[in-house]
Amino acid sequence: MAGNSRDPGRSVTARALSVLTAFDIDHVRLTLTAIARRAGIPLATAHRLVRELELWGALERDEDGRYSIGLRLWEIGLLSPVNSRLREAALPHMQDLCQHTHDNVHLAVRVGLDVVYVEKLTTPRAIPIFSRSGGRLPLHSTGVGKVLLAHAPAGVLHECCERGLTRYTAYTITEPGRLGRELQTVRNRGFAQANEEMMLGSCSVAVPVHGTDGAVIAALGVVAHSARADVGRLVKALLPASEAIRQRLVERERGELDLLSR
Amino acid sequence: MAGNSRDPGRSVTARALSVLTAFDIDHVRLTLTAIARRAGIPLATAHRLVRELELWGALERDEDGRYSIGLRLWEIGLLSPVNSRLREAALPHMQDLCQHTHDNVHLAVRVGLDVVYVEKLTTPRAIPIFSRSGGRLPLHSTGVGKVLLAHAPAGVLHECCERGLTRYTAYTITEPGRLGRELQTVRNRGFAQANEEMMLGSCSVAVPVHGTDGAVIAALGVVAHSARADVGRLVKALLPASEAIRQRLVERERGELDLLSR
């Protein structure tokens, strides 16, 4: 590879992956030209990579000639532990919560300085909110975010404050000292609340979900109309659901260990 | 690239993708050695590709040194239309169905000769079954499969029969002529039934889900205890749910066209 100082394998894989990152929730269908532009690669390279990815099933082409993420990539993504373990264990308990509260129910994990929504269930009576499974929101302004931030290593809070605490409404906590005290309250009380801090009219309540080793691995939350939310009642519904999820994770781990020891 | 007659980009991308296909539902965590073996690539190549995929977030490494599919790949997979359009439109209606029937509720699409389960909701009262979102089953032995097969191009039935109609129980339809007549009934009646054809004790009932252009794009089904399933009642619950999903798909498409024309 004279004249190319980079590892050729590395650059090809990186470019193939850059094709995938051209897609996001506002760009789920893209033309070849748009893929090349958004991925920052020459059109000819994009053409070749897209064809390979399409052959494999990572991309799909519709009748208009636009591409979207392929079903095979979706299938493989579902093997991620966040889906195959966490979401699968939580889903029936989230359905129960949703059925009893008639509100939006979220399961979320922390990735860096973001909340990533693993699943969202909703009902026609729930307040319309813009979260979605696979979507991201900041840590400081939502109920699930506060739970995850309260149980993150201390450096994470520091980094969030460094990046700046974006104000979404007049009620968003944007002062680092106040956020630190709020997180202490979350740890002391065992649940978090966010009152119109992300969106006016909505109130979120969330509790930690513990993994098999006792560490906080996720947050389970409900987002309700702020006018009619009964925080005490929501916490009473959330805590046993979170505990049931932990128990299911423990049972599954035991099942897997049993399989391994056979 | 003297001495290598293959397109180097192609082979690298293909090998990177082969690393991902080393994972499946029975192998969600793999050592590097297992990845190399299952992907059929040398250990040194696997090492380099795995490192790149890990850096990008397509793979994650746990404390034991085993790898799993990464959260970033899961996030990107969720952009697939099967999730971002179909599942998102269907989920609230599936929740309703699950709440009213207390049975397993499936949303499925056809991929080649397989049923691919897009989502599965269940309740503690439902009969335990082994389907899962992202999982596959054959077309001839399940309710959703029969719906999808009944509305597939004629060649698909032929291919299924060529491959052989696997017998799962004494009630599985394994005779091509009988299957053809069964599919005609499915088209005539507007729903499919599978009585203990996949698993003894369970009965599935399914209806087509039409897309915005009227074509059958998915199947919506319920799997219940065969002893207590009331087929008429299930069909009556399934048909309006399927129609509500179609309406939501139409509304979304209109919303997107409005956005484009602004």
User: pLDDT tens for residues B18-59?
Assistant: 899 999 999 999 999 999 999 999 999 999 999 999 999 999
**What's the pLDDT tens digit per position in A138-185?**
999 999 999 999 999 989 999 999 999 999 999 999 999 999 999 999
**Which among B193, B197, B202, B198 is positioned nearest to B128, based on CA atoms?**
B202
Candidates A6, A20, A47, A75, partner chain B, best to mutate (most B CBs within 10 A): A75
The answer, yes or no, to whether residue A135 has pLDDT greater than 60, is yes
Q: Does A177 touch chain B (CB under 8 A)?
A: no
Neighbours of B181 (CB within 10 A): 12
**What's the pLDDT tens digit per position in B80-115?**
999 999 999 999 999 999 999 999 999 999 999 999
50-79 in chain B: CB under 8 A from chain A? 52-53, 56, 58, 60, 68-71, 73-79
Q: Would the CB atoms of A9 and B12 count as touching at under 8 Å? A: yes
Quote the pLDDT of residue A8.
46
The answer, yes or no, to whether residue A5 has pLDDT greater than 60, is no
> In angstroms, what separates the C-alpha of B225 from chain A's closest C-alpha?
18
Q: What is the mean pLDDT of residues A192-211?
A: 97
ipTM: 0.91
Nearest to A77 among B53, B76, B99 (CB): B76
Find the residue in A nearest to B135 (Cα).
A75
**What's the pLDDT tens digit per position in A217-256?**
999 999 999 988 999 999 999 999 999 999 999 998 888 7
Instruction: For chain A, give percent helix, strand, coil, nearest 5.
Output: 50, 20, 30
Residue A83 structure tokens: 């889906």
Q: Is B109 helix (H, G, I), strand (E, B) or coil?
A: strand
> In angstroms, what separates the C-alpha of B177 from chain A's closest C-alpha?
32
Pairing of strands B104-111, B114-121: antiparallel
Question: By the 8 A CB rule, do B242 and B249 touch?
Answer: no
Q: Would the CB atoms of A92 and B53 count as touching at under 8 Å? A: no
Q: Would the CB atoms of B52 and A20 count as touching at under 8 Å? A: no
Q: Does A123 touch chain B (CB under 8 A)?
A: yes
4-43 in chain B: CB under 8 A from chain A? 7-10, 12-14, 16-17, 20-21, 23-25, 28-29
Q: What structural domains and CATH numbers belong to chain B?
A: 8-76 (1.10.10.10), 81-261 (3.30.450.40)
